[in-house]
Amino acid sequence: MDLFFFHLSGILPDNSLLFQVPAAAITLPTLSIFPFETYSERTGLYIGALLLLVITMILLRFFERIKSNRMLQQTEQRHNDIFKKITHEFRAPLTIILGLSKQLQEQKDFSNNNSLTYLNAIERQGRYLSEMVNQLLDVANLYAAEKTEEWKTGNIVAFVEMVSETFRLYAGQKEIDLYFFSDEKEIQTDFVPDYLNKILHNLLSNAVKYSDEGSRIYLILERNKKDRKKVIIKVVDHGKGISKEMLPHIFKLHYTRPNVGTETPAGEGIGLAIAKQLTEISGGTIRVESEEGKGTTFTVEMPVRRNEKQLFPHWKPEKDTPATMAIVKPPVKTEHKELITPEANENDPRPTILLVEDNKDTALYIRSMFHQEQYNIIYASNGEKAWNILNKQLPDIVITDAVMPKKSGIELCKEMKASPLLNHIPVIIISAKNRESDLIEGLKSGADSYIRKPFHLEELQVRVENLLENRQLLREKYRRTVLKEEKAASCDNINSDFLIHVTDIIHREMKNPDFTSVKLAQELAISVSQLNRKLNAATGYSSSVYILQVKLNHARKLLSTQNKTIGEVATECGIYDVNYFSRVFKRHIGVTPSQFKRLPQN
């Protein structure tokens, strides 16, 4: 055995490596370089193909990574939308719970009935929050990396009937009858009890929620007549139904109606989306048919199967009942008779507030802020009903929610500000939508104020007081304007155009003794009652008093600037009874026409 030293520069500190091998085993390598022409054409093709394959694999890997990142971003955005929508819904119940709790703590003169009403509202909103938290957990479980699907084998007919029994009492509290029908007493199949319970829970909850008192809900289970290996579960109600516009999007997690800005309620949108995903995980399908005003039918179709390779535990009602079934409790009965307010009396000195809110607990909370001794509250459950009220009587101010069925608060505000009769009424919009774009949308609709939920009691009270005070200042300014015959030119307000038009008509008909409120209303193409409400809101005068004020103001000008007799001045004002003219002049001006004429004029 001989020793050889290989001297390799830069390898070790002493620049040497020691190998102990037989000398015959050492063969020094050689490198031979041949010109390119010596490679065969086939070898070149192999090398080119190899390079092309390597480049293709690199590109595929690159695009797969981009696609994966994009899918992760989309999934993350979808999750953010879900949680954003549910947390958006937390604002309203938190506002009610915190507000009514504070009212109960601070007000000592509450009757037992009022206290019980507030406590019931707090309990209802607490249950709603609990339901939203449960849905958050359901969503989190759906998107969890590890899904634990506890499959069982059992009689699906007995399971669905058991769910219907838990909802029968819940529906009965709303005087709704729930019926269960099945064409078979037993259908043995594999299913996930927790999943099926949540699917039925969401469908039946919506059916009860959107059904009217005295109506019926049917839960039907049957085999598919064309395919006996499938079972069909139907939830049929005769409630409000779903609009054609909303129907294609009913299972989406976050849908906003175009050009309106109203959203599907989170409890409904999330619940139905969860029901759809759980159905698909179970190997089934879900669809909906609905006609607005007539009712809705949800149809769930699932396979009837038995896993031969894996035997699942047998489902027993008394042992394997899902814990979530215990959540279905009879709802606390809503007592909101105090919200239904009769029409305002025209002689009522209290300011009238029109409260527009589809959530009756929120309406109860807002109602509790304004004492009956100081304010008269008129209530409407949506924008459409509010519009009908506005056509009959004019409130001093409107407080409306932004998102409501049939007609949103944004739509109501736009229509009010476009109406010559209603555009003077201040509007406060209250909304759980708290983005800057939502605020700008509300202000662009013409709202005088936009308040975000949850809000402090004092904030809304101060806004209402300030707007009503500004309204009173404008009213007094209009009065002075009429007396000075400035035709509202100095008033930078939407009422000025209306008053200028009205005053011009009165001046044109000044000498006409037959000109009355009826003819003025005909000139304006509105009713006398509408004219009275508009003028009273803008100036504090009824139409007949306003006409008289304009005429007396004209008489004062004639008496001050022209040398005419009292009879001539009265005739110029369309009043041919001089004695009547003198009495009316003294009652409104404080002196007789003769005395006024002798007063020193500035």
Per-residue pLDDT at 341 exceeds 50: yes
516 or 51, greater pLDDT: 516
Confidence of residue 80 (pLDDT cuts 50, 70, 90): low
Residue 428 scores a pLDDT above 80: yes
pLDDT at 288: 92
Q: Is the pLDDT of residue 565 over 90?
A: no
**pLDDT of 481 above 50:** yes
pLDDT tens by residue, 141-154: 666 655 567 888 88
Is 349's pLDDT higher than 90? no
Give the model's pLDDT for residue 194.
85
* pLDDT score of 245: 81
Domain with CATH 1.10.10.60 in the chain: 485-597
CA 86/CA 215 separation, integer angstroms: 30
pLDDT for res 8? 44
pLDDT of residue 75: 60
Instruction: Please determine, for residue 235, whether its predicted confidence score (pLDDT) is greater than 90.
Output: yes
Confidence label for 421 from pLDDT (cuts 50, 70 and 90): confident
Specify the pLDDT at position 90. Answer: 74
Q: In terms of DSSP bridges, do strands 188-191 and 152-155 run parallel, antiparallel, or are they unpaired? A: antiparallel
* Burial state string for 223-250 with b = 16 or more CB within 10 A and e = fewer than 16: beeeeeebbbbbbbbbbbbbeeebbeeb
Tokens of 65: 């990574």
Indicate the pLDDT class of residue 18, thresholds 50, 70 and 90.
very low
Q: What is the pLDDT, as a whole number, of residue 316? A: 75
Q: Does 354 have pLDDT greater than 80?
A: yes
Output the pLDDT for position 554. Answer: 86
What DSSP assignment string belongs to 56-110?
A: HHHHHHHHHHHHHHHHHHHHHHHHHHHHHHHHHHHHHHHHHHHHHHHHHHH----
Q: pLDDT above 70 covers what percent of the chain?
A: 74
Tell whether the model's pLDDT for residue 14 goes beyond 70.
no
Does residue 579 have a pLDDT over 80?
Answer: yes
More confident: 587 or 39: 587
3-class DSSP assignment, residue 250: coil
Alpha helices in 210-326 (DSSP H): 266-281
The CATH number, out of the four listed (3.30.1360.30, 3.30.565.10, 3.30.70.100, 3.40.50.300), of the domain defined by the range 149-303: 3.30.565.10
**Alpha-carbon torsion 33, 35, 37, 43, what sign?**
positive
> 455: burial class by Cβ within 10 Å (0-12, 13-18, 19+)?
middle
CATH 3.30.230.10 fits 485-597, yes or no: no
pLDDT tier at 297 (50, 70, 90 boundaries)?
very high
H-helix or E-strand spanning residue 451: strand 449-452
Tell me the sheet residues that pair with 289.
297
Res 1 pLDDT > 60: no
Q: Which among 509, 81, 477 is positioned nearest to 254, based on CA atoms?
A: 81
**Cβ atoms of residues 179 and 172 within 8 Å:** no
Position 490 pLDDT exceeds 50: no
CA 526 remoteness from chain centre: 34
Minimum mean pLDDT range among 190-204, 258-272, 362-376, 503-517: 258-272
pLDDT of residue 371: 82
3-state secondary structure of 375: coil
pLDDT at 395: 87
Average pLDDT over residues 389-409: 86
DSSP string, 533-586: HHHHHHHS--HHHHHHHHHHHHHHHHHHHS---HHHHHHHTT---HHHHHHHHH
Residues of each domain in the chain carrying CATH 1.10.287.130: 43-139
Distance CA 216, CA 297 (A): 12
- pLDDT for 473 equals 80
d(CA 87, CA 320): 32
| Higher pLDDT pick, 88 / 194 | 194
Q: Residue 5 — pLDDT band, cuts 50, 70, 90?
A: very low
Can you give the pLDDT at residue 231?
92
Highest mean pLDDT range out of 18-22, 164-168, 348-352, 595-599? 164-168
174 pLDDT exceeds 70?
A: yes
Q: Which residues of 340-368 are buried (b: 16+ CB within 10 A; e: fewer)?
A: ebeebeeeeebbbbbbbbbbbbbbbbbbb
Scored b (16 or more CB within 10 A) or e, 557-568 reads: ebbeeeeeebee
Reading the block at residue 344, the tokens are 């305002």
Q: Which helix (H) or strand (E) holds 181?
A: strand 177-182
User: pTM of the full predicted structure?
Assistant: 0.60
Question: How does pLDDT run across 271-287, given as a tens digit for each residue?
Answer: 788 888 888 888 899 99
Q: Please report the pLDDT score of residue 345 as a whole number.
A: 59
- Give me the CATH topology for the region 43-139: Helix Hairpins (1.10.287)
Element (H, E) at 117: helix 112-142
State the pLDDT confidence band at 300, using cuts at 50, 70 and 90.
Answer: very high
Q: In the chain, where does the domain assigned CATH 3.30.565.10 lie? A: 149-303
Nearest-angstrom CA–CA distance, 194 and 397: 50
Give the residue with greater pLDDT, 103 vs 397.
397
Give the mean model confidence (pLDDT) for residues 425-432.
88
- Mean pLDDT value across residues 77-100: 69
CB environment 260-290: b (16+ within 10 A), e (fewer): ebbbbbbbbbbbbbbbbbbbeebebebebeb
Give the C-alpha separation, 474 to 427, whole Å: 16
Q: Is the pLDDT of residue 399 over 90?
A: yes
Rounded-to-integer distance, Cα 10 and Cα 570, Å: 124
Phi, psi of 286 (to 5 degrees): -140, 140
Least confident window among 251-255, 287-291, 316-320: 316-320
**Residue 31, both tokens:** 């490198």
| pLDDT (average), residues 6-12 | 44
The one-letter code for the residue type at 510 is M
Instruction: Report pLDDT for 113.
Output: 66
Is the pLDDT at 57 greater than 90? The verdict is: no
Provide the pLDDT for residue 22: 53
- Residues of the chain with pLDDT > 90: what percent? 11
Q: What is the CATH number of domain 352-476?
A: 3.40.50.2300
The token pair that represents 311 in the structure block: 């035997």
Query: pLDDT per residue over 504-554, tens digit each?
Result: 888 888 888 888 888 888 888 888 887 887 887 777 788 888 888 888 888
pLDDT (0 to 100) of residue 278: 86
pLDDT digits (tens, 9 = 90+) for 255-272: 544 433 444 444 455 778
Q: What would the mean pLDDT of 107-121 be, rounded to a whole number?
A: 70
Ranking 44-48, 167-171, 441-445, 542-546 by mean pLDDT, the lowest is 44-48
**Contact yes or no for 234/240 (Cβ under 8 A):** no
pLDDT at 309: 67
pLDDT exceeds 80 at position 585: yes
- 543 near 535, Cβ under 8 Å? yes
pLDDT at 438 over 90: no
Residue 269's pLDDT is 57
Indicate if the pLDDT at residue 130 is higher than 90: no
